[in-house]
Chains A and B, each alone.
Chain A
Amino acid sequence: MAVPQQYEFFIDPNRCIGCQSCVQACGECDTHKGHPMIHLEYVDRPFSVQTAPVVCMHCESPTCAEVCPADAIKKTEDGVVQTARKPRCIGCSNCVLSCPFGVPKMKTELELMMKCDMCYDRTSVGKKPMCATVCPSQALFFGTREEIERLRPRSVPTNRFQFGRQTITTKVNMMVPSFSENMVVDVTAAMNEPPVDQSFDMEALAVSDFEF
């Protein structure tokens, strides 16, 4: 049974509170117990508590699969890019190095690349992925387009990402401000951009008579 096409995955990093519920819950999934496949990292902790949850974006043309010399990474008909097939994976890490989103992780102890497969065991039987079910801020959301439009009027989903000259289209959507003119997220350009309207300047806001 396939993942119902009307259900989609939406990520809204603006909502993320860094609690790691997704990571902790991912490791409870029956197909890969003990191995969470979500990365959650501080963007720049000394200056902000902002965190970014990274799940597999499930690319239309998955770079990881394209560079795999063993043809171990398969994409299902409904667009889910699966974790490496154990009999085929040679542990070369090509996928790890090539994925523009930095998703696959090499489990050296298992000599196997493991990555998020959108909880195929759950989504294929009508459940939501574990991470999106538990996420307390709903930064990770699994539902229909109608639901996301109704619930999130301040932002719109996009699934196109620019990495230099490579444009990647993904199954997973990223929520971006609804005033965004360009619906392609230019990831490499954004890496050098200072945060806009993102962080409060504590020194400017807090008045103190402490003698520094």
Chain B
Amino acid sequence: MATLPVSLENITEHFGPHLARSLGNRLATGVEPDKTVATHCCFCGMQCGIHLKVKDNQVIGFEPREDFPFNRGMLCPKGVKRYLQGAHPDRLVTALERDPNSPGGFRPMEYEKALDRVAAEIKRIQEKYGRDAFAVLSGASLTSEKTYLMGKFARLALKTANIDYNGRLCMVSAGAGNKKAFGVDRAANPWSDIPKAEVIWISGSNVAECFPITTDYVWQARENGAKIIVVDPRITPIARTCNLFLPVKPGRDIALFNGILHLMIENDWLDHRFIEQHTVGFEALAEHVSQWNPKRTSDVTGIAEKSIRQAAEWWGTAKSSFLMHARGIEHHSHGVQNVLGAINIVLASGRIGREGCGYATITGQGNGQGGREHGQKCDQLPGGRDISNPDHRAYVAKVWGVEADEIPKAGVDAYEIFREIDRGNIHGLLSICFNPKVSLPDSDFITRALEKLDFYVAIDFFLNETAHHADVVLPGSLHEEDEGVVAQVEGRVIRINKVVEPPGDARADWTIIQDIAHRLDCRKGFSFANPGEIFEELRVASKGGTCDYSGITYEKIEKQNGVFWPCPSEDHPGTLRMFEPGSWNPIAKGAGPFYFPDGKARFNVAPYTPPTEDVDADYPVILTTGRVVSHFLSGSQTRRIGPLVDQYSEPRLELHPKLAEKYGISDGDQVTVESRRSSIQLPAHVVTTIRPDTVFVPYHWAGRQSINRLTISAQDPISKIPEYKVCAVRIKKGLRTED
């Protein structure tokens, strides 16, 4: 609540980020581990297999896990150093209570007393302002068991409509687009299809830095003769040696996809049979893209016409292909339209549902896929069910042993929760696995909203920047301190194994959630003894839904090295590839491979609109944001790992020499970058590998280094994803002087 309990410097001194380095058993040679546990990395959607070495209940190092087929031992630097997040000086080992008179602004408190206070505050707020006045923010780095429990906890224990999650910042545009086009939201193909494709189209994904091990799949395709097309405002490491680089102007991807489809139609590079048999809506779309001739496409996208024609020819005439995209096209106020545009050129080619013919969004978070399936989204119930659909509500109510009426209606999205706090409609907040003060756009507003909260409880293993505002902090579990399942980028459900016990008073997140539920007099349905029991209920709750886990068991996951959903029965091996000819799904019931009653995929007219905030005379430069390879999301973990901070220690403003020259900026100069919302100062990094009209800043840092203070909170009207990838700024050399 309110402002920070003490100064930021004081909080930081006590709670970090401090840098963990290899010391003691982690540095000594010849230390024999007590055990080595096969599990997965805690970071991105790749979920690389890894062995963690344990000595005295501390993870002391790793061994590559070459037997896991997806990454075969490969790891990025985050995976290599992930073990340093445990036994960390900043680790929260007791519950904390806000206390301006204590060092760091928080004093330790007994876990039971903390629970009592949390429950009392929840009751107080809900009695005074209504059930929906208490909101929950959850996250997609949690196991699926936890995400399922979070949804159930919000609906049945808190009885609030307002739960949403940090996938709102990540996967929702892709999810909404996939549902509109295919009726289901999962990567259509396993990664093993990538090397079998003869054209690889990568739009808006810095693959080499954000999903490093996918690089080997792409390079293997190239070895096999594939042409690689990369669409990005920057020449990223994956773009450096690609066959065709399209330097799209941020916010214009849909124009490019429409222009490509225009050329496919003009040259009859279409799969007429597939369009006829397996899709609807092509005529209307063809009519719409008739306006997107190469000249206009070039004018809008900022890509040379010749390059657009070349891309269309390669894509149009390919016999096999794999199109992948990520946040680069999804983080827009028209992110869903961008995704639909990408899907349109896939469907027009007919190259989906077959070996070597693929399409996927590259999911960002560790459980980015699973975390969006089982009910922690504001409009969703388990199994990918819709909270507004009476049949879906009835089914889940039956599983939960309640009346359908008892399940609240859809709540508002994660950003809107903060607007509701600001408006005085939401007074209390529980957060887990989410650091919105760093990760949400226009974050000065987020800070102001946090300051208005009546009561805020954060569950976390480190005191992240958002939790600085908390009244009570409950010490949760690290990835390696609990078990469960996640669905990685391909839709492969895998097992996270427990490696060490939580230290001190810290405990598994699902026990904390249940403890709170019990104090809210809600025991029924919250007495799971272990994650396995939660998973058994999740299986039942997902049965018959689009994300059907009913045939998945922990044993089967171990035996098969993962199970691809949907898996509707225990004798079903799982679904490696979606939309194969003749495949069955619970919506089409045999009518066709896509998840609509007629079994057909949908073409969607995807009209171009410019970004919400275009450049103008006052703010003439485009700002785009993204990641660097050694950090993850809001940096709550990676900014505490010494070797990863050494690799990239502070954000820099990447800009082209032509732009730098205009403003008299040299490499290394301190630069002020300012949007209509805020400004920060950071060093310039002058490189020719970015569009001259665009600057780039990575977003992993907090406070004075946080670029999300500048980004715009405009959201896609369908997915509600924020427009991180484009807003207008001005830059100048030197530090800002007050006007």
Which residues on A are within 8 Å of B, measured CB to CB?
A: 14-21, 23-25, 27-28, 30-31, 33-34, 45-51, 128, 130, 133-138, 151-154, 198-200, 202-208, 210-212
What A residues does B659 contact at CB under 8 A? 210, 212
Known A206-B691, A208-B249; judge A24-B643 contact (CB<8 A).
Answer: yes
Q: What are the 9 closest A-B residue pairs judged by CB atoms, nearest first?
A: A136-B212, A17-B208, A17-B237, A210-B693, A206-B247, A137-B215, A24-B77, A136-B213, A208-B693
Cβ contact of A205, chosen from B73, B238, B304, cutoff 8 A: B304
What are 18 A-B contacts defined by CB distance under 8 Å? A17-B208, A18-B208, A19-B208, A19-B237, A21-B75, A28-B22, A47-B687, A49-B240, A134-B75, A136-B75, A137-B216, A152-B223, A153-B224, A202-B689, A202-B692, A203-B658, A205-B303, A208-B691
Cβ contact of A30, chosen from B29, B687, B689, B692, cutoff 8 A: B29
A71 to chain B, nearest CB (A): 25
Which residues on B are within 8 Å of A, measured CB to CB?
A: 22, 26-30, 61-62, 64, 66, 73-77, 79-81, 208-209, 212-213, 215-216, 219-220, 222-224, 235-241, 245-247, 249, 298-299, 302-304, 307, 615, 620-621, 629-630, 643, 647, 656-659, 661-662, 667, 686-693
Complex alpha-carbon distance, A82 and B691, angstroms:
46
Question: B688 and A202: CB pair below 8 A?
Answer: yes
In the complex formed, the residue of B with least CB distance to A25 is B80
Question: B692 and A210: CB pair below 8 A?
Answer: yes
Complex alpha-carbon distance, A49 and B690, angstroms:
11
Question: B75 and A205: CB pair below 8 A?
Answer: no
Question: A134 and B74: CB pair below 8 A?
Answer: yes
What B residues does A206 contact at CB under 8 A? 247, 249, 302-304, 691-693
Complex alpha-carbon distance, A34 and B77, angstroms:
14
Question: A27 and B304: CB pair below 8 A?
Answer: no
Question: A138 and B222: CB pair below 8 A?
Answer: no
In the complex formed, the residue of A with least CB distance to B248 is A206
Question: A207 and B212: CB pair below 8 A?
Answer: no
What B residues does A14 contact at CB under 8 A? 241
Question: B240 and A48: CB pair below 8 A?
Answer: yes
Complex alpha-carbon distance, A168 and B208, angstroms:
33
A100 to chain B, nearest CB (A): 26
Complex alpha-carbon distance, A152 and B220, angstroms:
8
Known A208-B302, A212-B662; judge A17-B215 contact (CB<8 A).
Answer: yes
What B residues does A19 contact at CB under 8 A? 76-77, 208-209, 212, 237, 629
Known A25-B75, A212-B659, A212-B692; judge A153-B302 contact (CB<8 A).
Answer: no
Complex alpha-carbon distance, A37 and B188, angstroms:
41
Cβ contact of B28, chosen from A15, A33, A136, A208, cutoff 8 A: A33
Complex alpha-carbon distance, A138 and B66, angstroms:
14
In the complex formed, the residue of A with least CB distance to B692 is A208
What A residues does B298 contact at CB under 8 A? 207
In the complex formed, the residue of B with least CB distance to A16 is B237
Question: B209 and A48: CB pair below 8 A?
Answer: no
- If A31-B29, A49-B689 are given as contacts, then 18 extra A-B residue pairs at C-beta distance below 8 Å, sorted by A number, are A15-B215, A17-B212, A18-B208, A19-B237, A20-B647, A21-B79, A24-B81, A28-B61, A34-B22, A48-B688, A133-B73, A137-B212, A202-B688, A203-B658, A206-B249, A207-B299, A210-B621, A212-B692
In the complex formed, the residue of A with least CB distance to B218 is A137
Complex alpha-carbon distance, A20 and B73, angstroms:
16
Complex alpha-carbon distance, A206 and B235, angstroms:
11
Question: A49 and B303: CB pair below 8 A?
Answer: no
What A residues does B621 contact at CB under 8 A? 210
A142 to chain B, nearest CB (A): 10
What B residues does A130 contact at CB under 8 A? 64
Question: B236 and A137: CB pair below 8 A?
Answer: no
Known A21-B76, A33-B29, A45-B687; judge A133-B241 contact (CB<8 A).
Answer: no
In the complex formed, the residue of B with least CB distance to A45 is B687
What B residues does A128 contact at CB under 8 A? 66, 73
Question: B302 and A134: CB pair below 8 A?
Answer: no
Complex alpha-carbon distance, A48 and B658, angstroms:
16
A211 to chain B, nearest CB (A): 8
Question: A33 and B64: CB pair below 8 A?
Answer: no
Complex alpha-carbon distance, A211 and B616, angstroms:
11
Question: B29 and A20: CB pair below 8 A?
Answer: no
Question: A151 and B76: CB pair below 8 A?
Answer: no
What B residues does A205 contact at CB under 8 A? 245-247, 303-304, 307
A191 to chain B, nearest CB (A): 20
A109 to chain B, nearest CB (A): 14
Could you say which of A50, A137, A203, A212 has the most chain B C-beta atoms within 10 Å of its C-beta?
Answer: A137
B631 to chain A, nearest CB (A): 12
Question: B304 and A20: CB pair below 8 A?
Answer: no
What A residues does B302 contact at CB under 8 A? 206-208
Question: B237 and A28: CB pair below 8 A?
Answer: no
Question: B219 and A138: CB pair below 8 A?
Answer: yes
What A residues does B80 contact at CB under 8 A? 21, 24-25, 28, 134
What B residues does A27 contact at CB under 8 A? 22, 643
B216 to chain A, nearest CB (A): 5
Complex alpha-carbon distance, A205 and B656, angstroms:
14
Complex alpha-carbon distance, A128 and B64, angstroms:
10
Complex alpha-carbon distance, A51 and B73, angstroms:
22
Could you say which of A27, A46, A207 has the most chain B C-beta atoms within 10 Å of its C-beta?
Answer: A207
Complex alpha-carbon distance, A205 and B223, angstroms:
26
Complex alpha-carbon distance, A134 and B81, angstroms:
12
Complex alpha-carbon distance, A200 and B240, angstroms:
7
What B residues does A135 contact at CB under 8 A? 74
Known A25-B75, A133-B74, A137-B208; judge A199-B240 contact (CB<8 A).
Answer: yes
Question: A154 and B249: CB pair below 8 A?
Answer: no
Complex alpha-carbon distance, A80 and B158, angstroms:
65
Could you say which of A138, A152, A154 has the most chain B C-beta atoms within 10 Å of its C-beta?
Answer: A138
In the complex formed, the residue of A with least CB distance to B65 is A133
Known A46-B688, A202-B656, A205-B247; judge A21-B212 contact (CB<8 A).
Answer: yes
Complex alpha-carbon distance, A153 and B226, angstroms:
12
B255 to chain A, nearest CB (A): 12
Question: A203 and B692: CB pair below 8 A?
Answer: yes
Question: A46 and B215: CB pair below 8 A?
Answer: no
A112 to chain B, nearest CB (A): 15
B529 to chain A, nearest CB (A): 37
What A residues does B223 contact at CB under 8 A? 151-154
Complex alpha-carbon distance, A47 and B690, angstroms:
10
Known A19-B208, A136-B213, A205-B245; judge A151-B77 contact (CB<8 A).
Answer: no
A137 to chain B, nearest CB (A): 4
Question: A50 and B240: CB pair below 8 A?
Answer: yes
B225 to chain A, nearest CB (A): 8
Cβ contact of A136, chosen from B76, B245, B686, B687, cutoff 8 A: B76
In the complex formed, the residue of B with least CB distance to A200 is B245
In the complex formed, the residue of A with least CB distance to B236 is A49
In the complex formed, the residue of A with least CB distance to B222 is A154
Question: B27 and A33: CB pair below 8 A?
Answer: yes
A192 to chain B, nearest CB (A): 20
In the complex formed, the residue of A with least CB distance to B662 is A212
Question: A138 and B307: CB pair below 8 A?
Answer: no
B543 to chain A, nearest CB (A): 37
What A residues does B216 contact at CB under 8 A? 136-138
Complex alpha-carbon distance, A16 and B215, angstroms:
9
